[in-house]
Amino acid sequence: MGDVFPTIRAAVVQAASVLYDREKTLEKAVSLIEEAAGQGAELVAFSESFLPGYPYHLWLSAPVWYQDLFKEWFLNGVEIPSKTTDVLCDAARANEIDVVMGVNERDGKTCYNTLVFINRRGQLLGKHRKIMPTHAERAHWGVGDGSNIRTWDYDNYRLSGLLCWEHSMDLMRHAMIAQRPQIHVASWVGGGAMALWDDIFEMTSELCSRYHAHVGDCFVLKVDGALDQAGYEKLCQTEYQQDKIKLGGGNSAIIAPGGKFLAGPLKDDEGILYADLDLNAIADWVHLHDAVGHNARPDLLSLLINTNEYHVTQPMAGFSNTRFQSLSINGGQVSNPADLLADIERLSADLANIRLAIQEKTLIST
């Protein structure tokens, strides 16, 4: 009979945040989670920085203009863990649904563009921070580290997630594909709301997401944000800004291995897309290629990944007679320099004894 994999009913939420209002957006998120679960969904995914909303303002003018908006956005950031994530976990557990949520994570005085992964038992599995904010986003978000380049094992499937322009970083995508996820969440901003980007963003986000499904032999939940009237009015304070941004902006879809649409695209409007993901369908493609298996040449081309967690400061243990915590000898790492010093002293004593013995033999022979 062989192995039989489950079919997962998945939901993609294309919705507008209550822009920069964490509590009201959280209420909306819980309502949408409940709606998706009510339609039988076992997995629901949200867009980039849904909580408390994507910082559209950073594309509309200089920092001097958007200082007040930045402050509001910053103060509505989401700490992990926090009461906000507790509410999301409670909603996941109450509705027996797995949740992937985009948040503006606030950690101390720095924010990060982050995906949060929660299982249907209400457990916060972990997070992924965008490793490189895109263009003007670097004025608002810090960079993620290699500890977040990983997949997540849910009850009956393996899932990965990346944010927006990370899907244009081929090495980043390859690092995820190499961990063999069956479902991938491609979380994007509602980029079509930016008038300057409209056509190019829609083309690029769709192309990257469908290509990931093709090369990764996985299902892709392409989930975009959207901008509603209240958000538009909040952002547009000049005629110039009114010309640069517009309502809607989403183009969400659910994509099968190989790149075909299972649901959507949903253009501009708010709504939820559903599809049944038959994980056995992955086998229909793997005989053609496996980018990290029989179609790879790791002896010629391979990827190095630094999975260490980034820290601003590092503790330094002191020891006598040296200023260094560790030494490198011929490329090897010495974990305990005190032991090294003791070995050097013993070798020095042995060398002195050998020299003395040689001198004594020389005197006897003469």
Domain CATH code at residue 115:
3.60.110.10
Q: Tell me if 116 is assigned to some domain.
A: yes
SS3 label, residue 251: strand
Scanning the structure block, which residue is given the tokens 């009913």? 9
Q: Tell me if 184 is assigned to some domain.
A: yes
Q: Which of 236, 260, 286 is the last residue of a domain?
A: 286
Q: Tell me if 314 is assigned to some domain.
A: no
Same domain, 358 and 211: no
Q: Tell me if 109 is assigned to some domain.
A: yes
Task: Please state the rounded mean pLDDT for residues 57-61.
Answer: 89
Same domain, 340 and 271: no
Q: Tell me if 59 is assigned to some domain.
A: yes
Query: Which structural domain range is residue 82 located in?
Result: 7-286
- Provide φ and ψ at 63, rounded to 5°: -55, -30
Q: Tell me if 297 is assigned to some domain.
A: no
Task: Please state the rounded mean pLDDT for residues 294-305.
Answer: 88
Active site residue ranges: 48, 130, 164
The residues with which 263 forms a beta bridge, in sequence order, are: 254
Same domain, 61 and 208: yes
Counted domains in the chain: 2
Q: Tell me if 340 is assigned to some domain.
A: yes
Nearest alpha-carbon partner for 84 in 140, 152, 30: 30
How many other C-beta atoms are found inside a 10 Å radius of the C-beta of residue 307? Answer: 11
Asked if pLDDT for residue 329 goes beyond 60, the answer is: no
Which of the four pLDDT bands, split at 50, 70 and 90, describes residue 347? confident
The DSSP 8-state label assigned to residue 167 in this structure reads: G
Which of the four pLDDT bands, split at 50, 70 and 90, describes residue 37? very high
Same domain, 280 and 340: no
Q: Tell me if 316 is assigned to some domain.
A: no
Nearest alpha-carbon partner for 251 in 197, 188, 208: 188
Same domain, 220 and 348: no
Same domain, 339 and 190: no
Name the strand (E) or helix (H) holding 103. strand 98-107
Same domain, 356 and 236: no
pLDDT, tens digit, 9 for 90 and up, residues 145-186 = 999 999 999 999 999 999 999 999 999 999 999 999 999 999
Report the pLDDT value the prediction gives residue 359, as an integer from 0 to 100: 74
Q: Environment class of residue 140 by beta-carbon count within 10 Å: exposed (0-12), middle (13-18) or buried (19+)? A: buried
Which of the four pLDDT bands, split at 50, 70 and 90, describes residue 324? very low
Helix residue ranges per DSSP H, 39-169: 63-75, 83-95
CA atoms within a 13 Å half-sphere pointing along the CA-CB vector of 220? 35
Q: Environment class of residue 68 by beta-carbon count within 10 Å: exposed (0-12), middle (13-18) or buried (19+)? A: exposed
Say what the pTM is: 0.85
Are the C-beta atoms of residues 87 and 79 closer than 8 Å to each other?
Answer: no
Measure Cα distances from 84 to 46, 77, 101, 105, 348 in Å.
Answer: 15, 10, 12, 11, 63
For residues 174 and 43, give the distance between their C-alpha atoms in angstroms, rounded to a whole number: 24
Report the pLDDT value the prediction gives residue 352, as an integer from 0 to 100: 82
Task: Please state the rounded mean pLDDT for residues 120-134.
Answer: 96
